[in-house]
Structure 1
């Protein structure tokens, strides 16, 4: 869909550029001698509009190439933002050169305006600088799950001034599901607060753990094998393309600890995608609990009031 839209804009800007450059040279014909006093202005105007059309046409061509070549959503998003920003900046330079007699006067005027706006718009400027920092430092990309200053969610948009995330967990949920609420915060916040990225590029998983309360008299080796078997079964079903890749950081483990209420806890620790923590925990329990319940002589669970 995006490629067809870019193609349509490329054709439109190309036709407009061809039309403007044709008008620019047609104004030299003797037929327009009666409007000599307006011809220089019109020629300059058509040339400026031609350059702007050309800039946006080239930006759409580059955007089309990026869309077809880049496979990582976050990187593609950032590249498209940079292309759009550069197109706007170059177009503003063309507009400034049209309004002023030369680029030197335009640069001086732009400098004075920037100085005034710098004092009046400190917060937006800080957020824009933070956006540049995000593009090159890649603290997070679109699609990443992050946490910053108590906000946690999936990044859906990184604009020039702010970032939008779809909140997960939140005030009404006790798990990592999306709450449906959108949180927007200024980009400048990343220059002041620490950012936790659960979807880092170094590793596709984070580690999670699920505890089960059992009695001290339970067969610990049997419990361990059941939990590991449940985890490995779910891992093969969810990530079949990774089952052939041996990675020690992805290996599950089971350990035991003492519970506050005098029971023992069997804890299975496993890798999981940041957006699938609740689902993966539920699947592991659905696989493991039937096997544990089938062997009451080997596994006892809390009963009565001490649960």
Structure 2
């Protein structure tokens, strides 16, 4: 659908550019002598509109090429935003040169306007500068799960002035599932607060842990084996190409919780958006193994501590 829309706009801008070029050369004919005083203005207008249509035509062609590349979605999104921004900026320069007759006058006018707006629109300008910082620093991309100033969620849009995230967890959930609420914050916030990116390109996983309470009389070695087997089996099923990498090997350790129960804790790598799902799969596989050996594994009930 997006490709068809892009192709349609390419055809439209091409037709407009050709039409404006034809109009420009038609104005050279003697037939239009009665309107001779208006011809220079019309010619300048037609060539300005031709350049603007050519800019947007080039923008759509480049955008179409970018969409076909094998970049990740976050990089594609940023590239398309930059292309759109440059096309709008160049179009405004062309329009200003038409209005002010020459580029020098346009530059002076833009300087004066920028000086006035700089005082009146400080917050939006800082947010725009933060957007430029985001593009080059790549603190987060569309699709990443981030946390900033108590907000946590998946980035769905990075506009020139603000960022939109689809909240996970939140006020009504006790897990990392999407809450359905969209949070928007100004880009300027990233210049003041620390950003926690759960989906950074350097580390595809974060580490999570799931505790299971067992009695002190349990066979801890057997418990450890069952939990490791459950975690490894699930990891092999979902990430078969990474199973031989030691950095993603799960581990089990034991601790005493605040209620004086023994806890067997399995720590494992997980994708940020699959925390609840992976925990559930591990438990669904590990608990039957533990329950099949009641002589080795006892769960805390009654006086069993």
Q: TM-score range by the shorter chain?
A: over 0.9
Equivalent position of 2:80 in the other structure: 80
From 293, 296, 299, give the equivalent of 1:295.
Answer: 293
RMSD between superposed Cα atoms in Å: 1.2
1:247 to 229, 239, 245: 245
- Whether the aligned pair in 2 keeps the contact of 1:144 and 1:154 (CA below 8 Å) is yes
Give the C-alpha shift of residue 147 in structure 1: 0.1
CA displacement at 1:305 relative to structure 2: 8.5
Per-residue deviation, 1:233: 1.1
Match of 1:237 in 2: 237
2:271 maps to 273
Render the CA deviation track for 1:241-297: whole Å, top value 9, x for unaligned.
433xx3222110000111222221100000000001011001100000011011110
Q: Counterpart of 1:139?
A: 139
Give the Cα separation in 2 of the matches to 1:147 and 1:304.
Answer: 42
Q: 2:94: which partner in 1?
A: 94
Give the match for residue 197 of structure 1.
197
In the alignment, the residues of structure 2 paired with residue 50 and residue 242 of structure 1 have an alpha-carbon distance, to the nearest angstrom, of 54
The CA distance in 1 between the partners of 2:136 and 2:293, in whole Å, is: 56
Question: Counterpart of 2:199 in 1: which secondary structure?
Answer: coil
Q: TM-score, normalised by structure 1?
A: 0.97
**Partner-residue secondary structure (3-state), 1:218:** coil
Deviation at 1:29, TM superposition (A): 0.4
User: How far does residue 237 in structure 1 lie from its aligned partner after superposition?
Assistant: 1.8
Structure 1 unaligned regions, length at least 5? none
Q: Distance in 2 between matches of 1:133 and 1:21?
A: 39
**Aligned equivalents of 1:220 and 1:54: distance in 2?**
72
Q: Structure 1 residue 240: deviation in Å?
A: 2.8
Q: Hey, what does 2:225 align to over in structure 1? A: 225
Shift of 1:306: 8.3
Distance (whole Å) between structure 2 residues aligned to residue 241 and residue 12 of structure 1: 47
Partners of 2:55 and 2:91 within 8 A in 1:
yes
Aligned equivalents of 2:68 and 2:303: distance in 1? 61
Q: Please give the per-residue CA displacement for 1:90-119, whole angstroms capped at 9, x wherever unaligned.
A: 000000000012111110000000000000
Q: Is the 8 A contact 1:261 1:306 kept in 2?
A: no
* Counterpart pick for 2:260 among 256, 259, 262: 262
SS at 2:157 equivalent: strand
CA contact 2:131–2:160 (8 Å) conserved in 1:
yes
* C-alpha distance 33-271 of structure 1, shift in aligned 2 (>3 A): same
TM-score, normalization by structure 2: 0.98
1:53 CA drift (Å):
0.2
Tell me how far apart the structure 2 counterparts of residues 158 and 282 of structure 1 sit (CA, whole Å).
Answer: 33
Equivalent in the alignment of 2:23: 23
For these two proteins, the number of residue pairs brought into alignment is 305
Gaps of at least 5 residues in structure 2 are none
**Contact 2:216–2:304 at 8 Å: present in 1 too?**
no
Whether the 8 Å contact between 2:145 and 2:272 is mirrored in structure 1 is yes
